[in-house]
Every structure is written in C-alpha cells, then in structure tokens.
Structure 1
Amino acid sequence: MNRTWEVVVVGGGLIGALVAFTLRRAGARVLVLDADRPGAAWRAAAGLLSPDGERLAGTPLQADALDGLRRWPALAADLERGSGASVHLRSGVRRLQRGGGAQVTPGEGTLHPPSVVRAARQGLEVVPARVYGLRPERGSVRVQADTGEWRAAQVVLAAGVWSAAFGVAVQPQQGQALLLRHAGPLEAVFGPSGRGFARYALSRPDGLYVGATARATWAADPDRQAARWLRGATQQLVPGAAQAPLAAHLVGLRPVTPDGLPRVGPHPALPGVTVAAGHGRHGALLAPVTAARVLSLVQAQVSS
C-alpha cells in the first residue's frame, strides 16, 4: 500500500478517469483512488456535448466548451482503441423553438459517461479508497485514506463536490434524471429555452435519458416531485415515451463554484496538489480540455 507513485489522482469519475488516462498515455505512473460515493455526478450525467444547448455562447466558458467539442472525436477514438469498447459518441442535437421548428449546431452531439469512465480506467490501477488527508512533505505528497496510505510526487484532486473537504470552493447542485426503457434512434433534443430547468432527452445504450432538475442540496436520494416533473418533460419532448417503464431514477451531485467556472490549477495551500474540480453541469463537455491542462501543469512541475 505504501508505494510511491508519480501521480495519484483522487477521484475516478469522468474528470479524474480522463485525467489519469491522459497522464498514463504521456508516460506517467498513475494511481487512481476512488471513493465511489452515492451521488457521484458522472453516474447521473447525460453526456451532452452541446455548447449552444447549454447556452454557453458569450460566457467565459464558451472557448473551452468549443475546444472540448473539437477534442472529443480524437479522444473517443483513443479510448475505444485502448479499451476495445464504444463510448457511444453520436452526433446530433436539436433545440426546439417556441412556436415550432428547431435549431441545430453542426458538430454537437452526445456520449455515454459510464462507458467513458470504464474505457478510461482500462489499464489503470484503481483502488477503492476515501481520502481524508493530503500532506505535502519534502517534495512529495502523503495521501492518507481509509484503506491505506500512499506517497506521490504529485496529486491531482478530482473528487467532484467532495473536493470541498480539501479547501476547494465547490458546493453541491443536485440533478435528477430518469432512465426509461424506451428504444429508438432519438438524437438529443432540448426543450424551448426559458426560465427554470433545461429539459432534454436523448437515447443512450442503457435507455432513454430525460433530465434534469437542479437543487442546492447534499441529498442523494430520488424524490417523487422530481419524478413528476421529469415525466412532464418526457411528455413534452418524447410523447411516445411518456408512460415508458422506469429503468432507473438517477441522482448526481454536480460540483459548482461561486462563479460557475471550474477550478483547474495548483492548489493555493497544498504544494504538489493540482485541482481539477467544479465543472458543474459541463463535465463531459469540458473534460478533454481539463485533462490536457492538467497534463501541462504536471509536466511543468516535473521540469521545474
């Protein structure tokens, strides 16, 4: 257990797994410690790659969102070659307009977050562990967890909303979604934009995904009010699936920051620790950019 690693990644979700995959491809010896907590955001994520659907035009996230969209085809191909399994990257996102009609932005699409995480973890050493201490010591970092202790030249903190335990300014925004037993070649569709939560639906390999609510809470249990709202969204977006049987009621805790911008950079108080957290509802879209940025930061630390 007390082995020394070049990099320990704390958190094995969508961000952490892709960061670790990118570091390993660059030649680093990487260990992933994953707590697999209830409410992990990636397990409930839609997998939307739609800057326009997420209304990011003109925001500080627009450039990174477009960069992430451009990077995904090559990254998906790398993941599939390495794992032998599809991540289900598909093109096509429609945005319904009030009064009828729809808009489409070329290049937008979707993928399947659980498949991405499984593919990224292939070939990585992933240990179930809840980390409770990061202790910089003499040019390395001691990582203390409930299942053991490790030492790393560098640590990447990608624990989602639980990164808050290490001084990162993130808070939970609960999102709920329904996964319905309904097949069909449905491309992703957004309901008309307006006040309130964005409504969207998309076909995935595990069913028809309909989402999503947003509420500031640490609760990770589904509730009936959210289920009713999501059934109403289904009726609006995919009327033929409104009564489809339920496969799963998903709940995830999105890590959001006070200004809505991810935190990707050196930890201000922990030398040797790089933060990659706070992506909110845009984790899938921004993950390739975050992974590339973390790789640059880690390599800069090695050469300094």
Structure 2
Amino acid sequence: MPAASSASGTRTGPPEVIVVGGGLIGALVAFTLRQAGADVLVLDAGRPGAAWRAAAGLLTPDGEGLRQSPLWASAQESLRRWPRLAQRLEAVSGQPVFFREGVRRLQAEGPAQVTPGEGSLHPPSVVGAARRHVPVLPARVLALTPGPRGVRVVTDQGDWTAPTVVLAAGVWSAAFGVRVRAVQGQALRLASALNCGAVYGPPARGFARYALTRPDGVYVGATSRASWRVTPDERAARWLRGVARQLVPGAAMGRAAPLVGLRPVTASGQPLVGPHPTLPGVVVATGHGRHGALLAPVTAQQVLTLVQAGAYA
C-alpha cells in the first residue's frame, strides 16, 4: 500500500476518513474535516474535465437566479461563511485564494445592480490552499466495498480501508451508483492584465454571460450543454469571444485559452449531500452543477456534521 504525502508529512496509519475526489468540493470537505481534527486522506484521479479547473468562482446567487429556488437559503449561508473560510484557508496554507466582494449585474435597461455580500474567488487557488496540509494521493478509485471493518477503497494504486468515505468525485460519482449526469461548460481565459472586476451580463441564447479578473487573466463564461466531451468546441469559443467583446471591450483576444469542465447535475437540480443510498459508511457530496464554488462551505459543514454524528452508517 503506497503512502500519501502532503506538506504536513507522510501517513503512518490508516485514515479515519477517505475523501474520493480532490476538487473544489472534495478539497474543502477534507480541509474542514482536518480542521475539526479528523485524520483524512484524499484520493484524486486528476481526470481531464474536472469542473473546478474550468470554474469561474463567482459567488452570486442573484446573478444565478436563485432567489426563488430551494437553494436560496444555502446560498445565503455560504455567502456568509466564505469571507471567514477564505481567511482561514490563507492563514493555514500561506497561499492566497483571491476572494473579493463585489459583482456588478448588468441589466437590459437601467443601471447595473449590486447585491451586498456577493463576490468571487479563484477555484484553482482554493483547491491548492485546501490541499496544502491534507495528504493527497493521485489514484483512481475502482470500487467501494463496505465491510465489518469499514469501507474498503480499491484503487489503481492499492487498497485502503476507513470507517468513513466521502464520495465527492463530481460527475465520476455516477460510477458508484449516484444519479448525476455531465453538463459540459466552456469558458475562455484571456491573457490580459485588464481589471474588469466581476461583471454579470444578461443571459443570451440561454447561456449566462459574465467576466471577471483573476490572477491568471480575465475569465469569460460560459456555455452549457449535456455532454461528456472534454475537448473545446470552436463554435462555443466564437460565442465566448463575442461575450468578451461586449463585457470587456478593452481585453486583447490574441491569446485566449479555452477551459472545459464537466459539471455534475442531478435530475432535480439539487446537490446530493447525505448518506449513500446503498453503501453503508459512504457519504455523498456531489451534484452541485454550476453552483459548486458558491455552495462549498455549506456542503463541507453538512458533511462534517454527518461524519461527527455517525449518520452515514
């Protein structure tokens, strides 16, 4: 059985909790569990198309039209939690996550609107900071087998057993009996130092339109279609360049890099956070669709509560 290493050292014993998936949800779940004192191991396959690598990092429930949805209360709670969580991530890791408040929502007519508390962050930086002091092993999980001594996790790098497993593998959670489907999102990253803040435009062709300044350039998004493809589509890229010209007219288009991510979506549109329906000892945390960054703090707290209460068995 290979050892997992991290900035905090090398594992010497079996973990209390194994988190399957080290993306935005999985990494923050692992970070939250570790901060609560749990011995955690993260197994991450590093698959192409992982949603967090292409995510915008916008925290805007009003921009996403959630005010009348069942997600509204969770979205508001997450907004309240994000500033303190961002500070904690930076303090523990020594790395910035680029959290900042302020999202301008453009209207078809009239002045732009701003909802207090909304903001943005940089998902790759959040993942990096959350993983900083949690052991992470590059491994693809092949099977989850509950037994009398815990859940056996079979991977292409060996097997582990832990009392609790958190399944936070995004769209790939479907391989373990979780009902999620893939919705491909495509965005553009412009190699530009232009500071446009975070701006959310009126939807067009059924797609959300937004742009925001990030440490790696200007991010412009985003398309949405049911697909498992992880390769960019040129038609989507052309549409996104048009969005960029409208929202950030001063940004150069010469070096525009496409970003493609697969969002895990449920039939109801609601995230799945709770005990696995058929695998004792397994907690599910997936199905957030386009709201993973927004809902991550509440999800991590929900998982922590389940683990501490033993309500997953």
Query: Shared topology, TM-score over 0.5?
Result: yes
CA contact (8 A) 2:97 2:121 kept: yes
Is 1:119 paired with 2:122?
no
- Per-residue deviation at 1:244? 2.5
CA contact (8 A) 2:149 2:161 kept: no
The TM-score with structure 1 as length reference comes to 0.97
* Cα gap change, 1:302 to 1:193, in 2 (>3 Å): closer
- Per-residue deviation at 1:187? 1.6
Is 1:136 paired with 2:146?
yes
| The one of 234, 246, 252 aligned to 2:255 | 246
CA offsets 1:113-157 (integer angstroms, 9 cap, x no match): 000000000111100011010000004000001111000010000
CA contact (8 A) 2:187 2:222 kept: yes
CA offsets 1:140-194 (integer angstroms, 9 cap, x no match): 0000011110000100000000000001110000000000011133221111246
1:294 paired residue number: 303
1:180 paired residue number: 190
- Per-residue deviation at 1:235? 1.3
Aligned length: 303
The TM-score with structure 2 as length reference comes to 0.94
- Per-residue deviation at 1:248? 2.1
CA contact (8 A) 1:155 1:273 kept: yes
Unmatched segments (≥5 aa) in structure 1: none
- Provide the rounded CA distance (Å) in 2 between the counterparts of 1:267 and 1:303: 8
1:270 paired residue number: 279
Letter in 1 for 2:181: Q
- Per-residue deviation at 1:223? 1.4
CA contact (8 A) 1:44 1:251 kept: yes
1:156 paired residue number: 166
CA contact (8 A) 2:282 2:312 kept: no
2:64 paired residue number: 54
CA contact (8 A) 1:207 1:247 kept: no
2:76 paired residue number: 66
SS at match of 2:146: strand
CA contact (8 A) 2:281 2:312 kept: no
Letter in 1 for 2:98: H
Deviates more, 1:280-289 or 1:232-241: 232-241
Identity %: 68
2:51 paired residue number: 41
CA contact (8 A) 1:189 1:202 kept: yes
* Cα gap change, 1:80 to 1:265, in 2 (>3 Å): same
| The one of 95, 99, 121 aligned to 1:89 | 99
Unmatched segments (≥5 aa) in structure 2: 3-12
- Per-residue deviation at 1:195? 5.3
* Cα gap change, 1:303 to 1:105, in 2 (>3 Å): closer
- Per-residue deviation at 1:246? 2.3
- Provide the rounded CA distance (Å) in 1 between the counterparts of 2:235 and 2:204: 20
Is 1:145 paired with 2:155?
yes
